Structure 1
Amino acid sequence: MTPPGAHEIPRIVWRDGTATVSPRVVPAEVPVAFTFNGTSHAVMMASPTDLEDFALGFALSEGLIGGEGEIESLEILEADLGEALGFEARMWIGEAPMGRLLERRRRIAGPTGCGLCGIESLDEAMRPVPAVEADLLVPPEAILAALGRLDEAQALGRATRAVHAAALVSTAGELRLVREDVGRHNALDKLIGATARAGLSGHDGFVLVTSRVSIEMVQKTAVLGAALLVAVSAPTALAVATADKAGLTLVAVARRDGFEIFTHPRRIAGIAAAADAGAETIPA
């Protein structure tokens, strides 16, 4: 059965000199407009699932609101765009947060790229990341267990092999929340929103993402309050530097047989002490 957020479309497959006709499940991609008190702020291309989580997570991770309580109401409206559908995430916020948002909009210098929508300047692209204070200890086995469980938890990912996922994971490696999207930033924003709506905290576990790690992924993880970010692909140099400064433990190139630790290894059980002692080979 085709999962929500996907479509089955016809295609011609040519392999080994033979052409066959068969359907393919592909992810949907729709424009989602974020509006505050009737004022448009940004339009993102995203998967049309968990849009309430997306709206709240985007508002939180981009610093548009100071907390979930500043949103007085949130509704998702469908828009008929002719050949496609779009959605509006319509949020109403109080006078004080709206005043801050309008002042921010007055300073906008120009258009921005993926993952940095709604920023006003180069300075804000490099905005300070909140210091991460959570004192947790995660066994390496928990990271490997979470990696093994994530594929089964990705209904849209298994069907299409074309979307990203972000998960909130316990220190025992159990998946607490999973969100998917065609955009890696969107998947993490959805997770941030879902975590807030569920009354959970990023301090109690770690974040696992199925993508590379750029600075925005570090920034968003720090806003969530998670002290450990695990990614299946490699980080950028700026992401490593930002994670290090924020006190966030960054693990990347995570596979079923291991991973690489780039910053603050003290939160990975059994590794920090050996590394501090200068061991070239760290015992399991």
Structure 2
Amino acid sequence: MRQFGVTDYRDVNRANWDERVPAHVASPSYHVASFEQDPSYLSEVVRFDVPRLGDIAGLRGVHLQCHIGTDTVSLARLGARMSALDFSQPAVEQAQAFADRLGLEIDFHVADVYDAVEVLGASSYDLVYTGIGAIGWLPDIRRWAQTVAGLLKPGGRLFIREGHPMLWALEPGPEYPEVRYSYFETEEATVWDEGGTYVETDVEFTTTVTHEWNHGLAEIITAVQNAGLTFDSLAEHDSAPWNALPGLMTADAVGEWRLTDNPQRLPATYTLQAHKNG
């Protein structure tokens, strides 16, 4: 069920994410055991974009809104010297313990993403990375882009893979999805009250309200450019690394889900890159 309105969105969202952490760590969907058993294992999200990431060995990178750190660890395994940030204390504690168990030197920080420059340092990073399901928790994409620009060194790169705003505008239905929600950023949040999460788990959650915003592709690109970055590329994909529309999607051999019928109808995710001139 979706409702509309927003008050204290950070506190509301943080409570929801704090409660999700143990279930996500334990869920097979995050493949924590695979990371521990196979030193070369990468998250499905990062593995998908390895051809676009290219060689990141030796780069100083930061992962914004890192959650329990599986993408962060994957970037470190590709050779980047990683830091990461999330507003959830339990998530950061789990992520730090996870990286330590794997023998990786990653520093995780508890902070709101808009405070990242103050916490992590201005012009300090060659790579700012953010992954699936991150920016929809933020009300102002312009402020996010300014934060990214503030973190990057001259010549540094932004790399983001996200759910497509067209996907976020859909309401799943029994036979086909309906375009019901705003494609564009709105002043008011969309407020969800749902008890589940996006991974396989039997846990029943008690903190169920979240506040979210959509951001159109043009809004994102314009925000990045206005923040002083040079837009480099946008790739739209017909797949997502989770079953975004249950009953309507089929998974492939590497865990990407597409519409079962004519998948070319829907851009499900995108990969965007930009750089800071220097």
TM norm. shorter chain > 0.5: no
**Please, what TM-score do these two structures have when normalized by structure 1?**
0.28
Bigger RCO (CA 8 Å, 6+ sep): 2
Computing the radius of gyration from Cα coordinates, the structure with the larger value is 1
**Please, what TM-score do these two structures have when normalized by structure 2?**
0.29
* Greater strand content: 1
